Every structure is written in structure tokens, then in C-alpha cells.
């Protein structure tokens, strides 16, 4: 009999179900996942970077996403490493820095390149290829790529290429990585290899040094899609909203665990403001901004006492966590949950062209700040509508309150039922247009040519969603009560219900 040893799962410090404070950035990322905003990241490493909490490294973001997938039981997909983004860091200069002439040891390589260029120019002339300046020449609709300048690599990348050529186990792993033919198991192996301990006097041409160097590059430029099934996203939204309710009623306990932030081991502050303090501070700021600039606002975190500079060291990151009393992202999501604001965009103000401190930046629309002023049931406001969906014998119904009347909204296969089902739980949560359309898609849509056209597909999806909405608005009991609001140039939308 073979004993199967299961991988031991480490405790999750940012579990929203544990009833303790989680990291402000962790709440942000959970919101992104639950709303389908990391579903199509794939090879877009920059998009993942822009959605990474400002206190976290890229590696910490990847490991958090992996942990979420383990805890909620779904698979990650579309693993990719932008190899071309870091290979130039390992290119060797083939020219003498003083004379700018080719180094003697590379003359043969360069002469071969010049010969290939001459042959290509002759081919162009003989075959009537058309020049396009810096772009490759063409003939008809076909492009012809000219010879490329020779490249010689060194350091960790050269070591990895040597491993591939020798067909070692590490070489096979690197080949899968560089060919974008890898998955989670391979990435976790890269993490393990990256944890190699270097001696204080480690030679810069040792295997360990090269292994550390190339795995650093791979991790920094790796990304993947995080696209849990709809039922799991709904559960995550429920968990996040349950967590927000505990935050708004001061029922969260202290988080005594340690987490990593920019490589430092940090702990959450032991003195976090009550929700009333959070609410009063943010409400005062929003009222002032609204009076000056109207309902549509964009601003950076005004309560950030420890802005992150590009050279912020580990001790400064520890101080940021230790002394942070105001949780900006928690407060934003709480105000949106209460119906006070609608978040249009949230990320960082990072800009490669400047050296300003990196802070969270939000674009929001003020809806009704009175909902934060009128306390109902403790110190939090509640929505006047708490709708639920009911399914009976293949037919769907909506109840605007727990004990309210059942309003029929079609069979469970109809577009209007599916539209309500995806946008109502929880009410007011924005979803991407792509995820909404996927939920209401019918078999006949496969034959819709406009959905296959990259220029027409987005608007066609919006049109189909709006058609389903109009059908819903004809329903007795919902006339004049239901609408959809679009955000970010029709990139996402949410459902509105009124009494």
C-alpha cells in the first residue's frame, strides 16, 4: 500500500472569512477577482502590474493569486512569461566601448550577418520587394523579415540556454517557460529555484548565482489569468461583503499574522480606527471635494502618511504597516457597498515618466452621501432593497425583499433571468460587459457575425444586454424600477433597482 502525502496548506493570512482584518491591498485584489477583472490578464504583464497593491512586489502578487485559487478551488490559466522583455538585459555588447568597432572575437559572427544582409538586399531587388522605411519590406500582403543583428547572451539567461541545449531537467523547465508552455507546477518550481541561498562571497559566475538571476527575471515577467467560475465569483463577493459588514460594525478582530510586503515581514497595525472614525474622515473629505468639483472625482489617497518612494526600504515599509490607522481601500468599498459612491476606476498613480511617490488613485462618482449619514441598525446604512432570486420548476423569480412578492422573470434559460442572476448578487456590484454577456449568451449568438468582428463585438454585446434589459423592464412589478448603469466607456456595468 502506497501512502499518499498531501501537500500541507499554509494558513492564509488574508482570508476574508476568518473575521480578522486583512491587508488593504488584499481586499482590493479579491474585489478584482470576484468582479472578473483579472480574467483575461494572460500575457499582459503590465496589466497585472497596474493591479498589484502598491505595497506588494510582483512575486507577492503572484503568490497571493495562487493562494486564492487554492482556497476557493479553481484553476489558473494562460501562464505566460515576457521573455523578450528581459533578454536584452543579458545581451553582451559586441563593440569595443572606446573605438565602437566590433570586438575581434565576434568578427566572424558579424561578417556572417553582413553577408546575410547583402543576400537579402539582392533578394529584395531581384523579387521586387517594396520598402517601408523601418518596417519590413513587402510583396503583396506578405512581409519579409530582414536579417537581425547578431546577439550574444551572458549571465543567467546564457546559463539557462546552456541548460536547454544540454537537455537537463532544469533545461526542460526553462524551455517550457520560454515557449509559454508551462503551468502552475512549473511556476512553483521556479519559486523554489529562486530561493537558493547565495553565500556572502558567492562568485558571480557560479551556477547558484545564475539560477537566482534568471529565476528573478522569470518571476518578475510572469503573469496569468485568474478566472474562477461564476459560482465561485459569487461566493467570493458574498465573503467580501460579509467581511465589509464586519468592518462597518467594528466586529473584525486583530490580525496577528505576518505577511510579506516588498520583501519585508510586516504586521498590521494594532490600532485601526473604528468605522465611525473612518466614515467621518472620508465623508468630510468627499463633501469638501464634491462642493469644489462636483460629483465626478479623481484623487489619490488623502490619508496616506507614508507614501512609497521608489527607493523605500524594508524598514520604511514596516513602519507604514505598523502605524497605518486609516484603511483607505476598506473605506472606499464600504462607501460603495452603502450606495454612497460608485467606483469608476481604482489603481495607483504610478507613472514611469515621473518620480512622484506611489499612492492609490481612485475615480468615483458621488451618488448619495446621505446614506452614510443616516445610521440604521448600528453605525452602518443599509440598502432599501435586498433582492433575491428564486428558482422553482425551471422558472425564475425575483423578490425585492426577503418576504416580498415573487415577480416572474422568465425561464432560467432566458436572457432576462440570466441578466438578473449575474447582476443581483450582490446588487450594485459592477461586472465587465464581457462577463455579463457570457452569462446571458445563447446558442444562436454563435452565428452572429458582429460578435466575431473585433471592431463590432463590444457594441454588439452592449446591444444584446440592453435588449435583455428592455424585456426585463416590461415585466409587471419591475416597470420603472430596473435599469443598468455603464461605467468606463461601456467596459463594465451594474444593475439598479428602486422601490
Closest to 499 measured CA to CA, from 363, 427, 371, 400: 400
pLDDT at 488 over 70: no
Predicted model pTM: 0.73
Peptide bond into 41 cis (omega under 30): no
pLDDT at 105 over 80: yes
Residue 9: the pLDDT is 67
Q: CA 265 from chain center: how many Å?
A: 23
**Rounded distance, CA 125 to CA 131, Å?**
10
Task: Give residue limits of the domains in the chain.
Answer: 24-80+226-373, 83-90+153-220, 104-140, 388-497
Q: Grid coordinates in use for 379?
A: 453605525
**Using the 8-state DSSP alphabet, how is residue 295 labeled?**
S
Q: CA 313 from chain center: how many Å?
A: 25
**Cell 522583455, residue located:** 85
**Using the 8-state DSSP alphabet, how is residue 129 labeled?**
P
Residue 265: the pLDDT is 87
**Rounded distance, CA 241 to CA 137, Å?**
57
pLDDT at 2 over 50: no
Residue 21: the pLDDT is 95
Residues in CB range of 22: below 8 A, 6 or more apart: 13, 14, 15, 16, 243, 255
CB atoms within 10 A of CB 346: 19
- Residue 310 pLDDT class (50, 70, 90 cuts): low
Q: Do the beta carbons of residue 399 and residue 424 sit within 8 Å?
A: no
pLDDT in tens, 389-413: 888 888 888 887 766 778 888 898 8
Between 34 and 386, the more confident residue is 34
Order of all β-strands in the sheet with 341-348: 296-300, 360-366, 341-348
**Rounded distance, CA 139 to CA 478, Å?**
61
pLDDT at 4 over 60: no
Q: Grid coordinates in use for 40?
A: 483575461
Q: Chain-wide mean pLDDT for the chain?
A: 86
Which residues face 19 on adjacent strands?
none
**Using the 8-state DSSP alphabet, how is residue 17 labeled?**
T
372, 377, 379, 381: CA torsion to nearest 10: -20
| φ and ψ of 211, to 5 deg | -65, -45
pLDDT in tens, 180-233: 999 999 999 999 999 998 888 889 899 999 999 999 999 999 999 999 999 999
Q: Do the beta carbons of residue 54 and residue 308 sit within 8 Å?
A: yes
Q: CA 57 from chain center: how many Å?
A: 14
Residue 7: the pLDDT is 54
Which parts of 115-255 are beta strand (E)?
Answer: 130-132, 135-139, 142-143, 222-225
Concatenate the DSSP letters of all residues of 257-276 into one string. --EEETTEEE---S-PPPHH
> What's the Cα-to-Cα distance from 12 to each of 18, 32, 63, 258, rounded to whole Å?
9, 18, 11, 10
Q: Do the beta carbons of residue 371 and residue 339 sit within 8 Å?
A: yes
Diameter of the chain by CA atoms? 87
**Type and span of the H or E element at 485:** strand 482-487
pLDDT in tens, 126-180: 888 888 887 888 888 888 888 888 888 999 999 999 999 999 999 999 999 999 9
Q: How far apart are the first and last CA of the chain?
A: 64
**Rounded distance, CA 463 to CA 474, Å?**
17
**Using the 8-state DSSP alphabet, how is residue 377 labeled?**
S
388-497: which CATH topology?
Answer: Arc Repressor Mutant, subunit A (1.10.10)
Amino acid at each position: 500500500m502506497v501512502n499518499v502525502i498531501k501537500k500541507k496548506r499554509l494558513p492564509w493570512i488574508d482570508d476574508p472569512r476568518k473575521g480578522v482584518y486583512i491587508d488593504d491591498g488584499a481586499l482590493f485584489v479579491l474585489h478584482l477577482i470576484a468582479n472578473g477583472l483579472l480574467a483575461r490578464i494572460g500575457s499582459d504583464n503590465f496589466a497585472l502590474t497596474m493591479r498589484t497593491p502598491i505595497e506588494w512586489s510582483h512575486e507577492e502578487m503572484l503568490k497571493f493569486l495562487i493562494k486564492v485559487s487554492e482556497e476557493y478551488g479553481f484553476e489558473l490559466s494562460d501562464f505566460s512569461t515576457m521573455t523578450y522583455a528581459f533578454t536584452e538585459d543579458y545581451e553582451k555588447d559586441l563593440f569595443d566601448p572606446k573605438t565602437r568597432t566590433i570586438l575581434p572575437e565576434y568578427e566572424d559572427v558579424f561578417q556572417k550577418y553582413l553577408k546575410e544582409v547583402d543576400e537579402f538586399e539582392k533578394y529584395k531587388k531581384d523579387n521586387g520587394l517594396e520598402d517601408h522605411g523601418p518596417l519590413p519590406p513587402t510583396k503583396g500582403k506578405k512581409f519579409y523579415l530582414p536579417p537581425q543583428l547578431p546577439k550574444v547572451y551572458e549571465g543567467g539567461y546564457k546559463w539557462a540556454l546552456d541548460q536547454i541545449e544540454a537537455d537537463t531537467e532544469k533545461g526542460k523547465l526553462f524551455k517550457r517557460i520560454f515557449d509559454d508552455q508551462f503551468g502552475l507546477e512549473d511556476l512553483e518550481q521556479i519559486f523554489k529555484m529562486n530561493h537558493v541561498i547565495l553565500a556572502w562571497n558567492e562568485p558571480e559566475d557560479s551556477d547558484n548565482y545564475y539560477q537566482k538571476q534568471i529565476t528573478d527575471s522569470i518571476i518578475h515577467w510572469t503573469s496569468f489569468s485568474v478566472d474562477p467560475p461564476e459560482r465561485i465569483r459569487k461566493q467570493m463577493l458574498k465573503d467580501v461583503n460579509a467581511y465589509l459588514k464586519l468592518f462597518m460594525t467594528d466586529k473584525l478582530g486583530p490580525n496577528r499574522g505576518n505577511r510579506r510586503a516588498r520583501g519585508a515581514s510586516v504586521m498590521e497595525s494594532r490600532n485601526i480606527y473604528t468605522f465611525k472614525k473612518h466614515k467621518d474622515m472620508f465623508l468630510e473629505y468627499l463633501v469638501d471635494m464634491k462642493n469644489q468639483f462636483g460629483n465626478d472625482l479623481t484623487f489619490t489617497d488623502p490619508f496616506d502618511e507614508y507614501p512609497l518612494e521608489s527607493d523605500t526600504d524594508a524598514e520604511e515599509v514596516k513602519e507604514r504597516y505598523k502605524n497605518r490607522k486609516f484603511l483607505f481601500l476598506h473605506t472606499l468599498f464600504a462607501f460603495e457597498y452603502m450606495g454612497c459612491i460608485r467606483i469608476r476606476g481604482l489603481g495607483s498613480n504610478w507613472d514611469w515618466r515621473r518620480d512622484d511617490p506611489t499612492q492609490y488613485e481612485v475615480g468615483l462618482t458621488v451618488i448619495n452621501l446621505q446614506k452614510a449619514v443616516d445610521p440604521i441598525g448600528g453605525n452602518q446604512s443599509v440598502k432599501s432593497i435586498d433582492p433575491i432570486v428564486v428558482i422553482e420548476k425551471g422558472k425564475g423569480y425575483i423578490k425585492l425583499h426577503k418576504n416580498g412578492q415573487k415577480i416572474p422573470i422568465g425561464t432560467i434559460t432566458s436572457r432576462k433571468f440570466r441578466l438578473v442572476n449575474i447582476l443581483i448578487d450582490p446588487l450594485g456590484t459592477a461586472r465587465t460587459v464581457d462577463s455579463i454577456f457570457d452569462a446571458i449568451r445563447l446558442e444562436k449568438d454563435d452565428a452572429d457575425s458582429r460578435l466575431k468582428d473585433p471592431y463590432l463585438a463590444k457594441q454588439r454585446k452592449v446591444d444584446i444586454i440592453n435588449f435583455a434589459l428592455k424585456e426585463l423592464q416590461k415585466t409587471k412589478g419591475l416597470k420603472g424600477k430596473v435599469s443598468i448603469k455603464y461605467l468606463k466607456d461601456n467596459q463594465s456595468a451594474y444593475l439598479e433597482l428602486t422601490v
